[in-house]
Amino acid sequence: MASTPLATRQIVAISVAGGLAFIAIVAWVFSLVLTGSTANPFAGKTLYVNPDSTAAQAASSASGDDATTFASIAAVPTATWLLPEQHATADIAAYVDSVADAADTQSAVPIFTVYGIPNRDCSNESAGGTTTEDYPNWVSAIANGLSGHEAVVILEPDSLGLSVSCGDGDQRVAEIATAIEKLQTNGTKNVAIYLDGGHSTWVGAEVQADLLNRAGVSKVRGFATNVSNFNATADEVTYAETVSSLTGDSHYVIDTGRNGNGTNGVWCNPDGRKLGDTPTAIDDGTAHDANLWIKNPGESDGSCNGGPAAGTWWAAGALALAAG
């Protein structure tokens, strides 16, 4: 067989190299589609303040100093929590779309906390959730509501961290992976997703990172820490930077809603806590994207230490947080 001329071989080599470079570029672009833009999704953005939050409702029905205090809490952007007990599969898409539409009219970005995984909270204070069969459908309906909107999603707080003590890690990893798949559609390319990242006084960073990696943190923006907890921001940054380093430098957000005084070791309606730093984007060269109010301050952690059922507005608790 005749040999290929040198010039032809060079052209072929250049073509192959160019083709490989093109494939690499396409893969990089595709990864951005999956995980979202490399830009901080909070940079230069206004976060949505939901006028129907529990704090806003409490302010409208209170009077005097209480009303003023509740209104000041209501004025801070907080996450809108999505629970199947409040919005079932048949109507949650319309609800999510209505909230996102309202945010769009204000040129603001809404934050949603998806909290409906089967056997939620491992039968603890926030027990509930969907059935195993309906969960993918419920999350798909949420994705339909998010379609065409810019938003942030905190996906299933406590689900991965709690799986260590509940002994259902494989199941939780699979459920979160499914939820990621359902949430990521062509219409939700502007939705930044953060998975459950535990917190600094709970599951160790190495264990939490392994759970995140198995669940698919590489496919989303990153993870959220300190959700519904009270740990000091500096402690959470130290913890989250370690988790980030073990998960491909994934980004993270910290819940600072109630951590103004740090933790006293009690997780359920502890005394002596204080509102934390208000939500803001972080630009300090680390993987830290933002501080957020994810757990709505003033809502109870559960029927403990004098509080009502989990998620219920608790006036006395709200006043105590504001007083610090």
CATH of the domain at 213: 3.20.20.40
Domain check: are 277 and 319 in the same one? yes
Domain check: are 154 and 238 in the same one? yes
Domain check: are 15 and 164 in the same one? no
Domain check: are 12 and 146 in the same one? no
Tokens of 245: 């380093």
| Residue 5 lies in domain | 1-35
What is the per-residue pLDDT across 173-231, written as a single tens digit (0 to 9) for each? 999 999 999 999 999 999 999 999 999 999 999 999 999 999 999 999 999 999 999 99
- Establish whether 284 is a catalytic residue: no
Nearest of 26, 168, 183, 15 to residue 96 by alpha carbon: 183
Domain check: are 6 and 65 in the same one? no
Compute the Cα dihedral for 209, 213, 214, 218 and give only its sign. positive
Domain check: are 49 and 113 in the same one? yes
Domain check: are 74 and 9 in the same one? no
What pLDDT score was predicted for residue 37? 55
Domain check: are 4 and 57 in the same one? no
Indicate if the pLDDT at residue 165 is higher than 50. Answer: yes
Nearest-angstrom CA–CA distance, 90 and 130 = 13
What is the per-residue pLDDT across 28-83, written as a single tens digit (0 to 9) for each? 334 444 444 579 999 999 999 999 999 999 999 999 999 999 999 999 999 999 99
Domain check: are 60 and 104 in the same one? yes
Residue 257 and residue 275 in contact, taking contact as beta carbons nearer than 8 Å: yes
What is the per-residue pLDDT across 116-137, written as a single tens digit (0 to 9) for each? 999 999 989 999 999 999 999 9
Nearest-angstrom CA–CA distance, 9 and 232 = 62
Q: How far is CA 102 from the centre of its chain?
A: 20
The rounded percent of the chain whose pLDDT value lies above 70 is 89
Selecting among 121, 235, 255, 289, the annotated active-site residue is 121
Tokens of 160: 């991965």
HSE-CB for 288 with a 13 A CA cutoff: 25
Total tally of structural domains belonging to the chain: 2
- Considering only CA atoms, give the Rg of the chain: 22
Nearest of 99, 98, 94 to residue 80 by alpha carbon: 99
Q: Which residue stretches of the chain are H helix?
A: 6-35, 54-61, 64-74, 89-105, 135-146, 159-166, 169-183, 205-215, 233-245, 315-323
CA distances from 35 to 30, 115, 187, 241, 271 (A): 9, 21, 14, 19, 39
Hunting for tokens 């509940």 — which residue is that?
166
Selecting among 91, 158, 249, 284, the annotated active-site residue is 158
Find the distance separating the first CA and the last CA of the chain, reported in whole Å: 86
- The predicted model scores a pTM of 0.89
Nearest-angstrom CA–CA distance, 99 and 120 = 24
Domain check: are 81 and 12 in the same one? no
Nearest-angstrom CA–CA distance, 276 and 262 = 9
68: three-class secondary structure by DSSP:
helix
Mention every residue, 6+ apart, whose C-beta is less than 8 A from residue 278: 76, 256, 291, 293
Q: Give kind and range of the element (H or E) at residue 3.
A: none
Domain check: are 16 and 164 in the same one? no
Domain check: are 149 and 4 in the same one? no
Selecting among 235, 255, 289, 301, the annotated active-site residue is 301
Q: How confident is the model at residue 84 (pLDDT cuts 50, 70, 90)?
A: very high
Q: Give kind and range of the element (H or E) at residue 193.
A: strand 191-196
Average pLDDT over residues 301-311: 96
List the helix and strand counts (H, then E) for the chain: 10, 10
Average pLDDT over residues 293-312: 97
Residue 212 and residue 247 in contact, taking contact as beta carbons nearer than 8 Å: yes
Tokens of 44: 């230069």
- Mean model confidence pLDDT for the chain: 91
Residue 135 and residue 178 in contact, taking contact as beta carbons nearer than 8 Å: yes
Residue 47 and residue 279 in contact, taking contact as beta carbons nearer than 8 Å: yes
